[in-house]
Chain A
Amino acid sequence: MSRGRFLGKAYRSWFPDLRTNGGGTGKAEREDPRGQAFDVAAHFRDHGRAENRHLAEPLTGAADVVLVSANGTLLVSGWLDDTFQRRSLLEARLPKLVLRMSWHEVDVPPSAILRTGRADVTTARGLLEEARLGFLVLMRLPEDVPPSDRLAIGVRHETNVTPLTEVVPRIVSEGYLVSYYLGFFHGLEREPHHPAAAIKAHARHGGALGALWQAHLAGAAGHTVLDLRSRDPGRGVAGTPAFSAITVVHGQVDLLHRQCVTQFPALAALGGEILVVSNHPPFHAQVQELCRYAHAAFDVPVRVLAMDGNVGFSRANNLAAGHAGSDRLVFENPDVFPFAKTDWPAFARRIAALGDDEIVGGHLYFPDGTVMHAGMVVESDPMPVRVRPGRGAGPDADGALPDPLPTGALLREDHPHKGAHDARFAGLGAPRPFPAVTGSLILVRRALFDALGGFSTDYVFGCYEDADLCLRARAAGASVTCDPGLRLVHLEGGGGGEKLPAVRGAMLYNRILFTARNAGRLPG
C-alpha cells in the first residue's frame, strides 16, 4: 500500500503559532508550558486526525443582533464556529471576545458569554455533532465607552485579535432590551434540560438584566392621574374610603370593560375606591374612557394611573398603594369577577376585620365553577442533573453579592386544589393558613405592606412576587390565610390570550430568582 505525502508546509501555514526550527524539514516546535518540541507531522497524528475536517475553516462567526440601551447595556447575539479550538465538541471553551467601540477596546468577561445551541449554524457548517456554536453576550459597557454606531467584534488569540464582524448597533430603550433578552430566555426552553440552561444564563446575565430592569423602572415611573371621585357626598367617612382596590391593567381592556359593570360597582357599593393602573400606554385612552364610564354609570370612585411605560406588576401595585386613600388594600387582577357565589357582605366584613399582621386571600373559581385557587403552596422540582451555574457576574451595582443560584431543584408556586369541584370545600368556613396566596386577590393593611417593602420589584414584569411577599410576611411573623368566604371568579390570565415570549421568559427568570431567594426560608 502506497503512503500519502504529508503536506507539512501547508499544515503549518494554518497554525501561525507553530514555529519551525528545521528549515524545510517539516520539523517544528511550539512554545508551550512544558517546553517540549514536536514536529508538525506528530502534531497532526496527535491532534489533527480528529479535527482535520475543520482545518480548512478558519475561525468564523457573525453577530445577528446587536442592541445597546441608553444606560450602556450591550446585547450581542451571534454564532462562532470555534470547534477546532475546543478540546471536545461537547465541552465549550469560552472564546475571548473583544469589542471595539467608540475608539475603545473592551474585553468581554467570560462570565458574560453564554454559549447556546444553534441548529441552523450547525447544519450550515456541515457539522454532524451538536456543537454549541451560538453565543449571547449581555453586559454593561464601561462608563468611558459610550454607545456608538459602529461595533467591531473579534476573538483574541494571545496578543492578536482576529476580527469577526463589524456591525451597526441599534440603540434601544432599557425596556425593549429587557423584553428582547427575556424572549431569548424563553427560547432556552428548546435546549436539552432547559432549566439548567436557564440557570446558567441567569448566572451570567442575571446581574446585568436586573440592573437593566431597574433602569427601565426608573425611566418609566412617570405617570399621570385621572381622578374621578364619587359624586355621592354621603359615601365614605369624611372622604375616606372603606378600602382601596387596586387593579393593574396591561392591555386587557375588554376584561376591564366587564369589570367596570360588575366588579367595580360592587366594590364601590361596599364603600371602596378603585385604583386602576394602566401599564400599557397605547391603551391609556381606552382605560380612562372605561373608567369614566364606570364612574358615570355606577358612580364608582376611581382613579386611573397612566404609566409612562410598563413597570410590571410589582412597581405598579406599589405605586398605586401609595395613592390609596385607605389603609386597607385589596389587590385584585383585571380578570377577577363576581359570580353567583360571591358574598359581598362577607367580603365587606372581612375587609373591616383585617388585622395588622395578616395577609388574606380568597377562593377563586374558573367560570365553569371549578376551583382555580384555594391557597398556594411552594413545591420543589428536583432537576435530573445537578447544575453548575458557573461564574456569575459578581457583586451587583450596590456591591451586594447575588443570591446563590439553585443547583439541584427549582421552586414552583402551585395551586393544589386547582380543577377540583367546589363541593370539596363544602362546610369549610374558617380561613386556613397557607404558605402563600395568589396575587390575584390579596387583602392586606398598608402598614404591613409598607413594612415588607411592598411587592419586590426585582421580579421582572410579573410572576412569583406574590409568593415572595407572602413568604417574607411569614418570616416577619405575619399570618397568611385563605378565606373561603371570599369567592370570586378568576380567569387566570385566560383573558389575555397567548402570552408573549418575553412574558414567558420572565416567568422562568422570576422562578429562578424566587428559588434563589426563598429556598432557605422553606423547610427541607
Chain B
Amino acid sequence: MSPDAPPRGLLVIAPLHPSLAPEGQAASAPAMAHAVFRAARARSAGLPGLVPHYLGAVPAGLPGFVRSSGTVLAGTDAGATACEGEAADETLMIVRRHDPATGLANGWILALKFREFLRAGGFDLVLVFAGAPVGIEFGAIVRSVLPAARIFEVLVPQSVPVAAPAEAAADTGEGAGPGRSAGDPAPAAAAVARPDLLARLVRGELARKADGVILLAGAELPADLAGAARVYRAGDPAECLEIALGVTPARGDGSTLPGPPGP
C-alpha cells in the first residue's frame, strides 16, 4: 500500500466492546478484535490511506447495558463507552432478534440499518469476528452491499466465552426465533447437541461469501467451514491484520489449512 493509494476503509465487526466485556480475558473476542482495530489505527497513523472502524455488536438484553427502546445502530460518544476518549471511529450496534440456535438473525430493521451503515462507510475490508451476536449472514449482507470488499471471518479460541446471547436474550425473548414463543425453552442446547446438517449447509454456503477464514492462535476450524472457505492462520492480532491487508503473504497458500506451527 503506497501513500498515494486511495484510502481503504477497514471495518471490524466484533462482539461487544472491551469496555463492556468481562475483564481479565485478554484472549476474548472483543479484546482480540479491538487489538486488531488498534493495530490498524496505529498503522493508519503512519499510513493515512487506512481508515479503521470498530463496530461492536451488543445483545439488547446485555445485563447492565442501557436498554434500547428499539433496534438501532447507536453511535457512541466518549462518555458512553469511555473508550480512551477516541470513540469517533467506534460504533455500538444493539442487536435484537439474533437466534443463537441457528446462528441467524431476523430483525429486518437491523438489517436495513446495517446496510445503510455499510453504504455510508464504503468499506473495502471487513473482518467479522466469530461470536458476535449478529447472524452469520451478516458477512453475506456485506457482500451484497459491498461486492468488491474483501471479507474475512476471524475465529478466536472457543474456550473463551465471547458472549452469552441466549442468556442475554432470556429476559426479552429476543432469542426465541421463528416458530417459538418467548416462553418456550431456549432451543440452543438441543440444536447444538443434534447434528444439524442443514445448519452446516447454510453456514458453509454463507462462508463462501467471505474471502477467507483467519484462525487466531488456538482457534480450531469448525467442521462446517472445512472446504467452504480459504483458511489462514495468524499468531496474533497484528499478523491477522497483515493477512487481511494482504501485506504479508499468508502462511500456506490460503486454499488449505497449513499445519500447526512448529516449536
**Interface residues of A, Cβ cutoff 8 Å to B:** 251, 253-258, 260-262, 265, 283, 286, 289-290, 292-293, 295-299, 337-340, 367-368, 489, 491, 495
Contacts and interface: CB of A to CB of B under 8 A. Distances in A.
Given A299-B144, A337-B205, A258 B109 contact: no
Given A257-B102, A340-B204, A293 B111 contact: yes
Contact of A258 (B108, B141, B198): B198
B104 interface: yes
Given A265-B144, A296-B115, A298-B141, A257 B201 contact: no
Contacts of A261: 104, 135, 137, 140, 202, 206
Nearest to B196: A367
Contact of A262 (B107, B111, B205): B205
A494 to B, nearest CB: 8
B112 A296 contact: yes
Contacts of A339: 201, 204-205
Nearest to A251: B179
Interface string B97-112: 0010010111111011
Interface in B142-182: 144, 177-179
Given A339-B201, A368-B197, A495-B198, A254 B179 contact: yes
Given A337-B205, A495-B198, A265 B140 contact: yes
Interface string B52-89: 00000000000000000000000000000000000000
Nearest to A366: B197
A257 B197 contact: no
B14 interface: no
Contacts of B179: 251, 253-254, 283, 286
Interface residues of B, number: 32
Nearest to A295: B108
Contacts of B178: 253-254, 256-257, 283, 286, 289-290
Contacts of B99: 257
Contacts of A258: 102, 104, 198-199, 202
B111 A337 contact: no
Contacts of B108: 289, 292-293, 295-297
Given A258-B202, A261-B202, A262-B206, A297 B111 contact: yes
B201 A337 contact: yes
A293 B106 contact: yes
Given A256-B178, A290-B178, A340-B228, A297 B201 contact: no
Contacts of A289: 106, 108, 178
Given A262-B205, A283-B179, A296 B111 contact: yes
A297 B206 CA distance: 14
A367 B198 contact: yes
A290 B107 CA distance: 8
A117 B199 CA distance: 45
6 contacts: A253-B179, A261-B104, A289-B108, A337-B202, A367-B200, A491-B198
A292 B110 CA distance: 11
B250 to A, nearest CB: 23
A296 B109 contact: yes
Contacts of B112: 296-297
Contacts of B205: 262, 337-340
Contacts, number: 86
A501 B145 CA distance: 46
A274 to B, nearest CB: 15
Contacts of A286: 178-179
A295 B106 CA distance: 11
Contacts of B199: 258
B102 A293 contact: no
A117 B181 CA distance: 41
Contacts of B137: 261, 297
A295 B199 CA distance: 21
A211 B91 CA distance: 61
B106 A337 contact: no
A495 B201 CA distance: 13
Interface in B216-244: 227-228
Nearest to A269: B144
Nearest to A258: B202
Contacts of A338: 205
B162 to A, nearest CB: 22
A262 B102 contact: no
Among B135, B178, B206, residue most surrounded by chain A Cβ atoms (within 10 Å): B178
A293 B114 CA distance: 12
Contacts of B109: 296
A361 to B, nearest CB: 21
A15 B42 CA distance: 108
A495 to B, nearest CB: 7
A295 B108 CA distance: 8
Instruction: Return the 3 tightest CB-CB contacts between A and B, nearest first.
Output: A367-B197, A297-B111, A261-B137
Among B107, B179, B208, residue most surrounded by chain A Cβ atoms (within 10 Å): B179
A368 B199 CA distance: 12
A440 to B, nearest CB: 15
Given A298-B141, A339-B204, 19 more contacts: A251-B179, A254-B102, A257-B99, A257-B102, A257-B106, A257-B178, A258-B198, A260-B106, A261-B135, A262-B202, A265-B140, A289-B178, A293-B107, A337-B205, A339-B201, A340-B228, A367-B200, A367-B201, A495-B198
Contacts of A295: 108
A261 B198 CA distance: 13
A254 B101 CA distance: 11
Contacts of B107: 293
A270 to B, nearest CB: 14
B144 A298 contact: yes
Nearest to B135: A261
Among B111, B112, B197, B201, residue most surrounded by chain A Cβ atoms (within 10 Å): B201
A293 B208 CA distance: 21
Contacts of A262: 202, 205-206
Nearest to A292: B108
Nearest to B200: A367
A289 B112 CA distance: 13
Nearest to B111: A297
Among A296, A338, A495, residue most surrounded by chain B Cβ atoms (within 10 Å): A296
Among A254, A299, A367, A489, residue most surrounded by chain B Cβ atoms (within 10 Å): A254
Contacts of B135: 261
